[in-house]
């Protein structure tokens, strides 16, 4: 199992206190997705959307990595092959746990993006719609996150890495946001072993060769310890 690609979602950060989207008291039960996570919502009410992400940014800065993030950082350090974490999460908990090979396919809450010129920079705690871009001066500042209806980042590179994987692992994702939900089929079709670690079987659980249910803070360290023990 030299080459491992790991996809994760909101479930891996749930025990760090960052709410998931679709669970019973998830974020979408409190906010209207169309209003806060689409380009159309931003065009209608940029102040509301910036306020929503300012709150997400504050939550992120106040959270700490949990045992699942730490275990993946350990895996990257100790595994003799390649580890790539592809995350749908916009938080920076993997980086703070020590992982280096992390691709944020849905962007990063701690980064800002100029919709006019594409320049990116570190986001301040509070962003406002009329903040000027430090590169071009346009008042087109937005959070550097991928909204519904937008194309996720790094898709070509991610698909390539999935076709090269010996093992594909999905952690804490409900399997109903595409294209990430289709990654298991791509990896399996190219010959990878597949494993799902989630609180409950996801919508795509039947596509995995193996599934384990439980909290990420237990499942992930156990899986990492088992894998590293076998590599000895
Ligand atoms: P989701 O809310 O749709 O699904 C979360 C999944 O995690 C569920 O299947 C749930 O059963 C599982 N889960 C919940 N607690 C868990 C735990 N302790 N251990 C293991 N599994 C657990 O989230 P998703 O699939 O990531 O949805 C996609 C969208 O949510 C992405 O676009 C992502 O950007 C966004 N999101 C990100 C964050 C973050 O950055 N931390 C937080 C919320 C949502």
CB of 68 closer than 8 Å to CB of 179: no
Kindly state whether residues 99 and 156 are assigned to the same domain.
yes
CATH number of the domain bearing residue 174:
3.40.50.1220
Residue 22: pLDDT over 70: no
CA of 111 to the centre of ligand 1 (A): 20
Same domain, 204 and 93: yes
Report d(CA 220, CA 212) in Å as an integer: 10
Q: Taking the CA atoms of the chain, what radius of gyration do you get in angstroms?
A: 18
**Could you tell me the pLDDT band of residue 1, with boundaries at 50, 70 and 90?**
confident
How many Å apart are CA 47 and CA 34, to the nearest integer? 15
pLDDT of 26 reads 66
Distance in Å, CA 68 to ligand 1 centroid: 14
Which is it for strands 141-145 and 210-213: parallel, antiparallel or unpaired? unpaired
pLDDT score for 7: 98
Q: Which of 8, 21, 108, 153 to mutate to test the pocket of ligand 1 (most atoms within 8 A of CB)?
A: 21
Is 208 found in the same domain as 128?
A: no
Residue 214 pLDDT? 98
Percent of the chain whose predicted confidence (pLDDT) is above 70 = 96
User: Span 162-173, mean pLDDT?
Assistant: 98
Residue 121 belongs to a domain with what CATH number?
3.30.1600.10
Q: Ligand 1: does its nearest atom lie under 6 Å from the Cβ of 146? A: no
Give the confidence band of 155 by pLDDT, cuts at 50, 70, 90: very high
**Summary mean pLDDT of the chain:** 94
The residue from 89, 122, 145 where one domain ends is 145
The tens digit of pLDDT for each residue in 178-216 reads 899 999 999 999 999 999 999 999 999 999 999 999 999
Where residue 175 falls among pLDDT bands split at 50, 70, 90? Answer: confident
Do residues 26 and 39 share a domain? yes
pLDDT of residue 231: 74
Q: Which domain holds residue 214?
A: 1-17+65-106+152-232
Do 76 and 125 lie in one domain? The reply is: no
pLDDT band at 24 (very low <50, low <70, confident <90, very high): low
Same-domain status, 206 and 131:
no
* DSSP code for 147: P
Of 89, 124, 145, which residue constitutes the final position of a domain? 145
pLDDT per position as a tens digit, 96-110: 999 999 999 999 999
Per-residue model confidence (pLDDT) at position 33: 86
Same domain for 191 and 136: no
130 in the same domain as 48: yes
Task: Give me the DSSP letters along 26-91.
Answer: -HHHHS-HHHHSSHHHHHH-HHHHHHHHHHHHHHHHH----HHHHHHHHHHHH-SSEEEEEE---S
Q: How far is CA 48 from the centre of its chain?
A: 23
- 141 with 214, same domain: the answer is no
Q: What is the pLDDT of residue 178?
A: 86
**Are 9 and 28 in the same domain?**
no
Give the per-residue pLDDT at 185. Answer: 97
Domain final residue, candidates 125, 145, 165: 145
Ligand 1 contact via 13 beta carbon (within 6 Å): yes
User: What positions carry a catalytic annotation?
Assistant: 106
If asked whether residues 100 and 159 sit together in one domain, one would say: yes
Q: 16 in ligand 1 pocket by Cβ < 6 Å? A: no
Ligand 1, atom 13, residue with closest C-alpha: 11
Is residue 116 domain-shared with residue 202, that is, in the same domain?
A: no
Counted domains in the chain: 2
């Amino acid at each position: 199992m030299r080459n491992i690609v790991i996809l994760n979602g909101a479930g891996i950060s749930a025990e760090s206190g960052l709410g998931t989207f679709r669970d019973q008291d998830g974020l979408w039960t409190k906010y209207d997705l169309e209003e806060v996570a689409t380009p159309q919502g931003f065009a209608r009410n940029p102040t509301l959307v910036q306020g929503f992400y300012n709150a997400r940014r504050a939550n992120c800065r106040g959270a700490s990595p949990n045992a699942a993030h730490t275990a993946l950082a350990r895996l990257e350090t100790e595994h003799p092959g390649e580890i790539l974490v592809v995350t749908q999460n916009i938080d920076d908990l993997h980086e703070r746990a020590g992982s280096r090979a992390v691709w944020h396919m849905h962007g990063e809450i701690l980064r800002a993006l100029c919709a006019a010129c594409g320049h990116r920079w570190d986001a301040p705690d509070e962003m406002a719609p009329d903040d000027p871009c430090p590169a071009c001066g346009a008042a087109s500042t937005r959070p550097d996150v991928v909204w519904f209806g937008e194309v996720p980042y790094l898709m070509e590179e991610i698909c390539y890495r999935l076709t090269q994987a010996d093992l594909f692992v999905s952690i804490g994702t409900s399997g109903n946001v595409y294209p990430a939900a289709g990654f298991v089929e791509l990896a399996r079709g190219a010959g990878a072993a597949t494993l799902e670690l989630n609180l409950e079987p996801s919508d795509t659980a039947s596509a995995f060769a193996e599934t384990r249910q439980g909290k990420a803070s237990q499942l992930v360290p156990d899986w990492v310890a088992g894998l590293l023990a076998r590599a000895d």
